[in-house]
Amino acid sequence: MPDISADLLRVLRHPRFGTLPWDADQVPPHYGGYSILNIPTSVAQALGAPPVGVAPPLVPDLRRAWGDDIRRVVLLVVDGLGWHLFQAAREHHRLAGWQPLLERGTLGVLTSIAPSTTAAAITTFWTGRSAAEHGITGYEMWLKDYGLIANMILHSPSFFQSGGAGLLQHANFDPETFLPHPPIGPHLRAHGVQVHAFQHYTIANSGLSTMLFREAEVHAFATLPDLWIALRQFLETPAEGPQYIWVYWSAVDGFSHRYGPHDARVAAEIETIAWTWRRFFWDDLAPTARKGTVWLVTADHGQIATPPDPAYDTQRHPRLQRTLYLPPTGENRLVYLYPRPGRVNAMKDYFATAWPDAFHLVPVWEVLNARLYGPGRPHPDLRNRLGEWLAIGRGAAYLWWGPKDNHLQGRHGGFHQDEMLVPFLAARLDA
């Protein structure tokens, strides 16, 4: 299984977004069959349900190992497991635990979406809709109707330093009705498919989970052995009708943020996921539970190493702040800017002086016209949530804002290969 081929990389990098600028190390989303956006419809069709949204399914080569007699699909999303991290783990024999999957299945590479971040990507997994459609455009987002900038993971005002998650409810924010499209749970349930979500107990009932897991049965777990044993026992329990099972693990992303994606802890975590899967799930799984089961492994995004650099802290750049009527929002690597009337040139000049060649500045109308955020009918508030200009990080550049220390060693959200490319492994367990 070689690394990504030059031919495939050319397919992924083919210019599909008008005149938007792309560097040699950047990869735009490929919504036409090589993106995580194409997974939900592929799963729905495999289980006998109609497509979800307007995006096509995955290209046929990525579905050839599935077969036709599928009775359940298990989708394991390892947050932050980029393609290059996956390949490095395989080359260093850290994926021996997944050897049964690698031998039986098909391994490919997908792109994340724009933005390549958890809040947007997980919403795409659970709605089958692009960020343009579902409207979750980043970790932090300007919600004009609510008059605040919100943290879309915690569902709280972004600059609150205490008080915990879920504080948006005090602004009449209802996670169950916030999205303009229903999640995949009701869609699959309506066509006879049972939907289950295995989620860590600390986030099993979070605001984001509440928003997405409608008509899904949630199974909370604490550790990897707990997860694999619970999942094995669940699969060995007779079920009526087809099943879709979501499994999510976040530690690779957490370690990558804290220590950098190339830290030994990240590699050890990836090895531990694969080894515990083999030891506590695969080795003891009953043959009846393997029958008709397709196992999928992918990620929401990867990460790029971004050692903290005070030069990127906007608190040190008051002249830039004076050109904006709102603080930056979005992602550190894909920044949404709201310049004051008549201050656009001053904002652009400041970027050119303070961070020459570190960002592509692109007007939002060009992004919208190019459909960078995906196909489908745009969310009615998309324009407000993206601001008026986008600052796309080049190389390892980013912006940091807000009244807190910058300690992140790894980030995502932009278009570098390290953050955009993710593995896609699909295997029949009864092959």
What are the boundaries of each domain within the chain? 33-139+174-305+418-428, 310-411
Same fold, 33-139+174-305+418-428 and 310-411: no
Cα-based torsion angle of the residue sequence 163, 164, 170, 172 in order, rounded to the nearest 10 degrees:
160
Mean confidence (pLDDT) of the chain: 94
Integer Cα distance of 363 and 336 in angstroms = 10
Are 141 and 117 in contact by the 8 Å Cβ rule? The answer is no
Q: What is the pTM of this model?
A: 0.96
Other beta carbons within 10 angstroms of residue 331's beta carbon come to 26
Under the banding of pLDDT at 50, 70 and 90, the label for residue 13 is low
Are 19 and 366 in contact by the 8 Å Cβ rule? The answer is yes
- Please choose, from the candidates 234, 153, 246, 252, the residue with its C-alpha nearest in 3D space to the C-alpha of residue 199: 246
Q: Can you tell me the mean pLDDT for 292-315?
A: 97
Choosing among 3.30.1490.20, 3.90.228.20, 3.10.20.90, 3.40.720.10, the CATH entry for 33-139+174-305+418-428 is: 3.40.720.10
Whether 414 has a pLDDT exceeding 90, the answer reads: yes
pLDDT in tens, 223-258: 999 999 999 999 999 999 999 999 999 999 999 999
Are 398 and 117 in contact by the 8 Å Cβ rule? The answer is no
List strands edge to edge, sheet with 72-78.
Answer: 106-111, 421-428, 293-298, 72-78, 243-249, 194-200, 217-221
In this structure, the chain runs to a length of: 431
Question: What topology is assigned to 310-411 in CATH?
Answer: Gyrase A; domain 2 (3.30.1360)
Integer Cα distance of 401 and 240 in angstroms = 51
Four-residue CA torsion sign, 431, 301, 247, 58: negative
pLDDT in tens, 333-353: 999 999 999 999 999 999 999
- The residues, ordered by sequence, that sit 6+ positions from 239 with a Cβ below 8 Å of its Cβ are 72, 194
Q: Give percent of the chain with pLDDT exceeding 90.
A: 86
Q: Give percent of the chain with pLDDT exceeding 70.
A: 95
Are 360 and 391 in contact by the 8 Å Cβ rule? The answer is yes
